[in-house]
Amino acid sequence: MNKLSITSSIVFVISIMGIIYALLFNPMDWIVYGISIVFIPLAVLSFGLIIMAKPKKEEEEDRRKEPFIGY
């Protein structure tokens, strides 16, 4: 695994744990608002990066031959 996948996985797990904490333990309202403002977008972003980091079967060789130039 590369550095991007590992970092995204760690951020995703931390975000999900924060969201579950807010749902189960019923903290004060301002803590729930802070968790929702920070952890929900981080979970979506890190999940997207995890998905993008995995190459498709037909793209694996193309990624080895040339660097990422954007789509």
Task: Please write the tens of the pLDDT for every residue from 29-56.
Answer: 999 999 999 999 999 999 998 888 776 7
To the question of pTM greater than 0.75 for the whole model, the response is: no
Q: How far is residue 66 from each of residues 3, 54, 59, 63, measured CA to CA in Å?
A: 19, 16, 11, 6
Look at residue 71 and tell me whether its pLDDT is greater than 60: no
Strand ranges, E, within the chain: none
Res 2 pLDDT > 70: yes
